[in-house]
Structure 1
Amino acid sequence: DVRYSFTLLESTAQGNLVRVQTDTTQQPLDINEGSKLELGSTAKLRVLATYLELVAELHERLAALEPAALKVTEVSPRDSLGRWAVQYLSGPNDHSLEAMLEAAMERRFSASPNEQFFTGGGVHRFNNFNRKDDTRQPTLREAMQASINLPFVRLLQEVVRHTLAQGPGGTARLLEDRFDPRREAYLAQFANREGQAFLRRFWRKTDARTPEELRAMPLDGLRPGAERLAAVFRYLEPAASPDALGVFLSAHLGAQAPSTARVAVLHERFAPESMDLPDRGYVARVHPLELWLVAYRLQHPNATLGEAIAASAAERQAVYRWLFRTQAKDAQDTRIYTMLEVEAFLEIHRRWTRLGYPFGHLVPSLATALGSSGDRPAALAELMGIIVNGGIRQPPHRISDLRFAQGTPWETALAPTAAAGEQVMVPAVARALKQALSEVVETGTARRLAGSFQSTTGADLSPGGKTGTGDNRVVVKGRGGLALNRTATFVFYLGPRHFGSVTAYVVGSNAADHRFTSGLPVQILRSMAPVLMAHLDGGSESGCPREP
C-alpha cells in the first residue's frame, strides 16, 4: 500500500537541472508537483528559515547603532525576538551577522506540552512525538536535530508576535491599553490603508476563479463545523432557503450534519441581517474582507479592483472599528488577536511564497509549524535548492536541448534561454540553514544516512536534510477519527550540488493500518545510494543521465 515519490535536481550554471522526478503510482497525477500533503515536520524548516531571515533583518537595522541608541530602542513587550536582538547587540558579543545567526540557533525554547495556545481562533494544545522530550528546554539547533514539536510552535508564536510588532503604527500595541488615545484616530487610517492592502491581496487570490471556486475558497482550511459552514453559506447565498442550507451542510458534514430543526435554527441565526461582517468573519475563521470580496465578486463578476475598493469603504471601517471599543476589553482583545494573527500569517505567507511555497494561503494557526498548511515534495526540493545555491532561487530545467532534422538542410537546435537566478535569501542565512540540516544527518532524526554517500574521487558528498511525518485524520468532536492518509518525507541535499526529496505515503482507509515514520524515506534514500553514486561521484555531464 505504501507509495513512493523521488525528486533529484542538480545545481548548475544553467540552473537547477531535474535529474530524476518519478513515483510508483503508475497514475497521471505527479505526486511531486500535483499534490497537497501534510508533510509534518518539514514545515519546521520553513519556520526556521523565516526566523533566521528576521534575525538578519534585525541585524541590518540595529547592528550599526551606537550603544546609547540601542539602549533607547523601543521594543513591544510582546516582541521577544526584537528584545533578544537588542540585548544581544548591546552586549560584548561578536556583532557580525554570522555570529548573531549562530547565537540565534543557540536560543532555548521549552518543549513542555502543558501550555495552552490561543491560536486559529481557539485554544489548542500540542504534543511532542517523543514524550521523553517533554521536560527538555533544547536549543533551536537541538530541537531541529531531534525534530521536537513544542520549541517550533513557540518559535512560530514568536515570529507571529514580532511580525505584528513590526506592523505600521505598532498595531499590536493597541492591545495593551484600552484608553490609548490613538485607537479611534488610528483605526480610521488603518482601516482605509490596510483594508485596501488586504483587498488587493484577496483580489489576486480570487482572480480568474469560477463561481464554484469562489464559493469554495472561504471553506478551504476550515475545520468542518455546522456553525462555521452556515456562517459562510448564508453570507454568500443570502436568499437561500433552509432546505438549501441543509443540503450544503450534508454535503460537507455527511453523517455529522445537523437535524432539520437545527438547520432551521442555523438558517435564522446566520441570516444576513442578524450578524455584522466582523462577527461573521470571526465565527467563520475567515478574514471578513476576504469573505466580503468573495460575495462581491459573485454578485459583480465583471467588477474591477477599483470598483471593489470603492464599494468596500464602509466594510473596511466596520471590520476594524468594532475591534477597538473599550467595553469588555478581554473579550475584544481575544477577537483583535484572532484578526491580527490572520494578518500576520498573510505576511509570513508572503515570505514563504518567495522561498517556493506553492499554495495561495497558510492556515492562520501555530499548527502550521507542524505541517497543517500542507506542502509539496517538489516545493520542498526547491527550498533546499535555494539553500544549496547560497540563497539564490534558480529556475528548474527538465530539457537541456532539442535537435530536429540533424544532418539535413532543415537542422534546428533549441535550448532554454539563460535566466539569472534571484537572490531571495541572505547568503549567511542559507549557510546557517545548511549547517543545521547537516546536523540532522550527523546526530539527529536522519542519522542512519550518515556515511552512506562515500565518494571515491574525494568529492564532498556529505548529506543534510529534514524529516517530516504527517497523519491526516478527520477530527470529530475533538477526537481523532478516520485516517485519510499518512505521509513521511525527507528533503535533502547531497554534497554541494544535488538536492531533492523522498516521500512515502498511503492514501485511504488503509492509512490507519500504517505506523511508519520519516525513518522510512531516509532508509529508502540510503538504500538508493549505490544507484545514485554512479551519477554523483565525479560529477554529471551537461545532459540528464539515462535511466539506469
Structure 2
Amino acid sequence: MTAFPGTAKIEAGVARRATDLGAFMGRRWRNHRWLKIACLGVIALSPLAVLEMRTSYIQSRLFAHLAGRMQFSLGDGPNDNLVFPAHGPFDRRLGYARLPDYIENLSQKGYVVEKQARTSATLQAFQNLGGFPPYREKASAGLTLIGDKGREIFSYSDPAHVYASYMEVPDLAVRSLLFVENRELLNLRFPRRNPAVEWDRLGLALVSFGTRADGERSPGGSTVATQMEKLRHSPEGRTTGAIEKLRQMTSASLRAYNSGLNTIAFRKQTVVDALNLIPLAGFPGHGEVTGLGDGLALWYGADFATVNRALRASVRSDADWASKGLALKQVLSLVIAQRRPAYYLGRGRSELEALTESYLRLMVSEGVIQPELGDAAIAARLRFNKTPPGAPPLPSSIAKAANALRLDLARLIKTPGFYDLHRLDLTVDTAIDTQAQKEATGLLRSLKQPDRLSELGLIGPRMLAGTAPAQVNYSFALYERGPDATHVRIRTDSLDGPLDVNAGTKLELGSTAKVRTLITYLECVAGLHDELKGKSTEELTRLADEGDRLTAWVAGQLLDKRDISRAALVDAATEKKYSANTGERFFTAGGMHRFANFSRSDGGMMTVSHALQQSVNLVFIRMMRDIVDYHIARIPGTAGILENPNHPARRDYLRRFIDLEGRQYLARFRPQYRELDQAAIMEHIAERAKYLRPRLAAAFRTVRPEGGFEQFSAFIHRWAKSPPEDEEGMRRLYDTYAPDRLSLADRSYIADIHPLELWLAGYLYAHPGASWRDIVAAGADVRQEAYGWLLKPNRFAGQNRRIRTMLEKQAFIPIHKAWQRLGYPFDALVPSYATSIGTSGDRPAALAELMGIIASNGYRMKPRLIERLHFAEDTPYETIMTAKPQKGERVLHQEVAAAVRRGLIDVVENGTARRAHEAIVGKDGTAMVIGGKTGTGDNRQMRYGSGGRLIGSEARSRTATFAFFIGQHYFGTITAFVEGADASHYRFTSALPAQLFKLLSPVIQRVTGKPSAGDPADPPQEIRVDWQTLLNRPNPLAVSGQQALWSPPSLRGRR
C-alpha cells in the first residue's frame, strides 16, 4: 500500500534520529549497566506489547469493564448532580451545553423539571474529570413541534441528509473515507481492536512531530474514532494539546467498548458517523454545513440519493462512467475538504480539485478503484453551487401555528434566532389541534377567492361587495380553559408572512373596547359600594349632592336601599340610563369632539345593558366621561382646582401642560431641521418667513441672536423681496427686532413662526447634531417662556382647558392599570373618551383572554402555547420540563364578571352578534351558551383646517371583530381587516366576523366536542352537508344527530 504523502521525508528524519541515537548509545553503553537491563526487559516484553497493539486484548477488557459501569437512565424530578458539557460544537449546537441556562429560564417562566437523567457514579466521576460520556450519539437532530394527539406541526433535522446505517453507505464512499483518513479502521482480523488508537500511525506522528522543520506541518495521529470526539466535543472542535488528545482517545476508547468487547459494529458505525458529521464550513444563506449529504446538496447542488445510486450502479456505457466518476469525485473532494473546509471550499477550490485528483491517482495505483473509474473521475469537473436550495415551505395551513410556537419558545429559553433554535435536540408538546388548525386556515385562505364569497354567504350589506377579496385578511383564535391552565387550541390567520395577527399586532377593534369600558364602569360602582356602604346618611346625602356623577349615583342608591348588596348594585348599574344624543360636543384629549352612533335612530335615553346589546357609542362616551371624572375626583390636592383661580395647584398643572405640549411641538419641528447644515437652516427659515423683510428680521434675530450687523445685512439682502435701500434703514431694522427689545413671543408673532420652531432652529444652528435629550434639556425654560401668555390672570378659561387635559391624562393612569390587569397588552391608553369605542387599539389575543376572564367568573389564567419540553432524549443530559399548574388569579369581582357575562350573552341572543346564536352544540346535542361582542374599526387620518374644522380624512385601516366565549371553557376572536388606503373601498362591519363564526362552527365543534383525555384519536370522518341549508339554520351542527365535520364543497378533498 502506498504511503501517505510526505512519508519519505518523515522516514528520512526518523533514520537520521535513529543514527544519532545509536551513536549516543554506543558512547554511553559501558557506563550505564541499568540501561542494559532495561533494554533486555523491553526486548523480552516486546512480543507481548506488539500483540496488545494488534489485538487490544487488555484494553478491550479494561475499557469494556469501565464502559459497562457508565450508565444513565431517566428518573422523576430534577437531578442536581447532573453534569452538563461545557463546550464542543456538537454539544453547543444541540443545546446540551446550554441546558442549565434553558432550565433556569424556563423555571422562571413557570415550568418545572418533570424528569431528568440519572448517571452512574462511574460515569459522573468520568464526566467530572472532563471525559465525554459514552453513549449512542445522534446522526441528526433538531426541533420538533407536536400538536394534540401526537400530530407533528413542525420538524427540523440537521443535517438533513444522513446515512441511517452502514448498509446504506455505498462501498465507494467507505473506501474514499478510509483511504484518506483511516485505512485500518475496518481491518476485521482482530475483532477486539481499539479503533481509537493505531500505534504505528501514532508513533509515526510523534516522530514526525519531533523531526519536522520549523513551520512544517506533520501528519496527524488521530484515528477517525478520535476525530469524531474532537469534532463533537473538544473546544471549537480542535485539539489544543496533549491533555486534550488524551481525553479524546480515552473517550473514544470507552465509546468503542460501550457495547462489549467486539468493536466491529462500532467501527462500521464510526464510518457512518464520520460521513454524516463531516464539517464543511458555512454556506451563504444556510449557515454551517455538516455531513456529506448536506455538503453535496449545498456545495455542489447534487441530490444525495442520486449520488448514492450513481456510486452503487453498475456501468454499461460511457455516460454511466461519467456520472459515477463525478459522484466519486464530489464525495472524495468533500472528505478531503474537511481538513481545511473554509479554505478548500472558499478560495482554495482549484487546489481542492487538484488534490482530489492526486488522491484518485493514488487510489487507482493501489487498486482501491478501477482505472476506468479513476479516469472518469479525473475528467469530471467540480462545479460549485452558488445559491442554497430553498427550504421546503411549511404548509400554509400550519405555518402560523409553527411560527407562533417558535417565537414563544425563543422567548421562553432566551434564544434570539430561529437558526440556533432549529438545531436544538428538543421536542415540544403543545395543545394546538392540528386538524382543526388546518381546516380553519384552509377556510380563511379560501376567502381570497372571489367565487367563494357568495358561495359562503359573505356578499351583502355590512359584509363584502365581492370585489378585491384578496385585500381582506382574517384571523381566528380559539382557547380552552382547563382546570389548571388555558390552552391555545387554534391560532391562525390568512396573512402571508411571519406576522402573527392574533398576538403581534395593534389594531383598532372598534366597539369591542366597550367591554373593557363596561367592566371599568362596573368596577367603579362595586368599589364605591364597598367604600360607601358604612357611611352615615348625612355623608351619603352630601356625596349625592356634591360628588362626581358615579359617586353621586351610588350614594343615592345607598340612601334608597341601605342594605343593597354589591351584586344588586352592580345589576342596577347595568340598568342605569344614559343619553345617546349625538348633539353634544365633548372636550377631551385637549380639544372639542363630536361622536356619532352607528344607527341614527339611537338618540334617546337607554339603559347600559341595551346600549351594550346594540353597541350605541354615545352611551359609552358618556360612561367614559363619568369614569374619568370619578378618577379626577380622587386625585389628591385637586378639589376645586377648576373653580378657584387662586388654587395652589393650578400653576403646577399649567407648567406641566406647557412642558408636555412644548415637547410635542419640538418633536414635530425637529425632522424639518435635523439633517440641515447651518446654511440650509437659514434658507429654510427664510422660506418660512415668506421672504418678507420684518418677518425675516425677527426670525434672524431669534435664530442667531449673536449675529452681527454685517451678517444680518447679508441675510436680508440675500432673501428679502425688498431689502432696505440704505444702511440706515438696515440698521433700524436690525435694532428694531433685537432680543433685548422684543420678547420671544413678540418676535415669533412678527415672524409668523412658532416660537419653539425658531428656538429649535437657533439651537441646532449653534449645536449641529444635538440629540433629542440635549434639545429637551436645553429648551426647558424656553418652553415656559413661549407660553407666558397662558399664565396671565385673564386666561382663566384657557387655563382650565389645559388643566382639564392634564387631569384627564392623570385619570387614565388608573384606568390603564385596570385594563392591564385584565390583559390589555399596551403600555398606555389614549387619554380620550374615544378610548371607550376603540381609539386606543387592542390585540385579538388580548381580547380573547378578556373573554376567558369573563367566562371563568373573573379568574385569569394566562394562555399557554407550550405544554412540555423534552430536551436531549436518550442522552445523559435528558431533561423533561412541564408547565406548572396555574391556580388562576381573581382579577375581577364575581358580581362584575357575572353581569358582563349576561350582557355579552344578550349581545349574541338579541344584539349585534345574532348570527352566532346557537351556532355550537354541546356533547349532549343542545346548543351551547355563547356570549360575545362585535366591533368595527374605521381608522382614519383626519385633516383639519383653520379653527379646527374637519376638511378631509384618509383611510388607514378597517377592521371588524367578534370576540366570544362558548360555555365556560372556550373563548376566542375572529377578525377581518384591511390595511392602507385600500381600506376606503370597504364597508364591511362586524356582521362579517359573526358570519365567519358561523362558517367556522364545524371547526370549533371539532375542539369543543373532542373526546375526553385517553380516548383514541379516531381519524376524522367528513359528513356531507347541504351547506347552503346549513348557513340558514340557527343550529348548523344538528345534522342527523351526528357531530358534523363540515366543509364547503370547494374545500373538500384538500385536507
* TM-score interval (norm. to shorter): 0.7 to 0.9
CA distance in structure 1 between the aligned counterparts of 2:683 and 2:843, rounded to whole angstroms: 35
What are the superposed Cα offsets for residues 333-361 of structure 1, whole Å, 9 maximum, x if unpaired? 12211221121122322221222111222
Q: Evaluate the alpha carbon distance shift between residue 392 and residue 320 of structure 1 in structure 2; reply closer, same or farther with a 3 A threshold.
A: farther
Question: Does residue 451 of the first structure (1) align with residue 921 of the second (2)?
Answer: no
1:60-106 CA distances to partner (integer Å, 9 max, x unpaired)?
101122434423447645x1111101001110376101110111111
- Alpha-carbon deviations, 1:434-470, whole Å to 9, x = none? 1111110011000111111122426772111111111
Give the secondary structure class of the aligned counterpart of 1:84.
helix
Which residue in the other structure is 2:626 paired with?
158
Contact 1:242–1:263 (CA<8 Å) still a contact in 2? no
1:525 aligned onto 2:997 = yes
Partner of 1:509: 981
Classify 1:50/1:353 alpha carbon distance in 2 versus 1 (closer, same or farther; 3 Å): same
Q: Gaps (5+ residues) in structure 1?
A: 203-217, 220-227, 250-257, 276-281, 285-294, 302-307
Alignment of 1:464-479 (within 5 A): 464-477=931-944, 478-479=950-951
Distance 1:413 1:512, change over 3 A: same
Match among 4, 13, 37 for residue 483 of structure 2: 13
More moved, 323-332 vs 58-67: 323-332
SS in 1 for 2:957: strand
Distance 1:245 1:36 in 2: 41
User: Counterpart of 2:857 in 1: which secondary structure?
Assistant: coil
What is residue 211 of structure 1 aligned with on the other side? none
Question: What's the counterpart of residue 206 of structure 1?
Answer: none
Q: 2-side partners of 1:438 and 1:245: how far apart?
A: 64
Per the alignment, do residues 62 and 237 of structure 1 end up closer, same or farther by CA in structure 2, a change over 3 Å counting? Answer: farther
The yes-or-no answer on 1:168 pairing with 2:618 is no
Q: Does 1:400 align with 2:867?
A: yes
Q: Greater shift after overlay, 90-99 or 428-437?
A: 90-99
TM-superposed CA distance for 1:368, in Å, is: 1.4
Deviates more, 1:448-457 or 1:155-164: 448-457
Aligned to 2:617: 149
**Greater relative CO (CA pairs within 8 A, separation 6+):** 1
Instruction: Say which of 490, 494, 497 aligns to 2:969.
Output: 497
The aligned residue for residue 881 of structure 2 is 414
Letter in 1 for 2:796: K
Match of 1:299 in 2: 774
User: Aligned in 2, Cα 1:8/1:81: closer, same or farther, shift over 3 Å?
Assistant: same
What corresponds to 1:34 in structure 2? 504
- Using the alignment, how far apart are the partners of 1:487 and 1:300 within structure 2? 39
Q: What percentage of residue pairs aligned between the two structures are identical?
A: 41
Pairwise CA distance, 1:43: 1.1
Contact 2:939 2:957 in 1 (8 A): yes
SS in 1 for 2:807: helix
Amino acid across the alignment from 2:670: F
C-alpha distance in 2, partners of 1:172/1:542? 63
CA separation in 1, counterparts of 2:675 and 2:873?
65
Assess if the C-alpha contact under 8 Å between 1:178 and 1:324 holds in 2. no
Distance change (3 Å), C-alpha of 1:300 and 1:127 = closer
The aligned residue for residue 368 of structure 1 is 835
In structure 1, what is the equivalent of residue 492 of structure 2?
22
Q: Report the residue type matching 1:64 in the other structure.
A: G
Q: Work out whether residues 473 and 485 of structure 1, in 8 Å CA contact, stay in contact via their aligned partners in 2.
A: yes
Q: 2:846 aligns with which of 371, 375, 379?
A: 379
- State how far apart, in whole Å, the 1-side matches of 2:481 and 2:786 are: 47
CA contact (8 A) 1:49 1:433 kept: yes
CA RMSD of aligned residues (A): 4.3
SS at match of 1:487: strand
Query: Which residue of structure 1 lines up, in the alignment, with residue 902 of structure 2?
Result: 435
Letter matched to residue 233 of structure 1: R
Aligned mates of 1:316, 1:542 — CA distance in 2: 69
> What CA distance in whole angstroms lies between the structure 2 residues aligned with 1:464 and 1:474?
33
Secondary structure of residue in 2 paired with 1:132: coil
1:254 match: none
**How much does 1:157 deviate?**
0.8
AA matched with 2:1001: A
In structure 1, what is the Cα distance between the partners aligned to 2:687 and 2:534? 65
* Cα drift, residue 263 of structure 1: 12
- How far off is 1:539 after superposition? 6.8
Q: Distance in 1 between matches of 2:535 and 2:513?
A: 34
Deviation at 1:172, TM superposition (A): 5.0
Instruction: Pick closer, same or farther for the CA change 1:246–1:318 going to 2, 3 Å.
Output: closer
How far does residue 10 in structure 1 lie from its aligned partner after superposition?
A: 1.1
Indicate conservation of the 8 Å contact 1:128/1:149, yes or no: yes
Say if 1:164 and 1:283 are closer, same or farther in 2 by CA, change over 3 A. Answer: farther
Cα distance change of structure 1 residues 234 and 164 upon mapping to structure 2, 3 Å threshold: farther
* Whole-angstrom CA distance in 2 between matches of 1:484 and 1:313: 35
Amino acid at match of 1:10: E
Cα distance change of structure 1 residues 14 and 58 upon mapping to structure 2, 3 Å threshold: same
SS of 1:441's equivalent in the other structure is helix
Tell me the secondary structure at the aligned position of residue 501 of structure 2. coil
The amino acid across from 1:484 in the alignment is: R
Deviating more after overlay: 529-538 vs 414-423: 414-423
Offset of residue 260 of structure 1: 4.4
Query: How many residues in Structure 1 have an aligned counterpart in Structure 2?
Result: 479
Q: How far does the alpha carbon of each residue in 1:15-49 deviate from its partner, in whole angstroms, 9 at most, with x for none?
A: 21111111011211111111111111111111111
**CA shift for structure 1 position 296:** 9.5
CA distance in 1, matches of 2:642, 2:992: 46
SS of 1:175's equivalent in the other structure is: coil
Distance 1:474 1:283 in 2: 27
- Contact 2:918-2:927 within 8 A present in 1 as well: no
Corresponding position of 1:291: none
Shift of 1:518: 0.3
Q: Which residue of 2 is the match for residue 43 of structure 1? A: 513
**1:463 aligned to 2:463?**
no
Say which of 586, 605, 613 aligns to 1:137.
605
Note closer, same or farther for the CA distance 1:346–1:409 as it changes in structure 2 (3 Å cut). Answer: closer
Kept in 2: contact 1:58–1:82 (CA 8 A): yes
Distance 1:409 1:337, change over 3 A: closer
Q: 1:70 maps to what in 2?
A: 540
Flag the 1:319–1:246 CA change in 2: closer, same or farther, 3 A: closer
1:537 CA drift (Å): 2.5
Asked if residue 55 in structure 1 is aligned to residue 525 in structure 2, the reply is yes
Structure 2: any 5+ residue segments left out of the alignment? Answer: 1-470, 705-742, 746-753, 757-769, 945-949, 1021-1054
Q: Distance in 1 between matches of 2:780 and 2:881?
A: 52
* Structure 2 residue aligned with 1:348: 815
Alpha carbons of 1:22 and 1:66: their partners in 2 closer, same or farther (altered >3 Å)?
same
Compared with structure 1, are the counterparts of its residues 38 and 89 closer, same or farther at alpha carbon in structure 2 (3 Å cutoff)? Answer: same
Give the whole-Å Cα distance in 2 for the aligned partners of 1:18 and 1:152.
32
Structure 2 CA distance for partners of 1:316 and 1:12, relative to 1, 3 Å: farther
Normalised by the length of structure 1, the TM-score is 0.76
Question: Which of 1 and 2 has greater Rg?
Answer: 2
Q: Write the distance in 2 (CA, Å) between the matches of 1:516 and 1:283.
A: 46
**Cα pair 1:44 1:152 within 8 Å, conserved:** yes
Segment of structure 1 superposing worse, 377-386 or 441-450? 377-386
Assess, with a 3 A threshold, how the Cα gap between structure 1 residues 167 and 483 changes in structure 2: closer, same or farther: same
Could you tell me whether the CA contact under 8 Å between 2:920 and 2:927 is conserved in 1? no
Aligned residue number for residue 590 of structure 2: 121
Structure 1 letter corresponding to 2:584? E
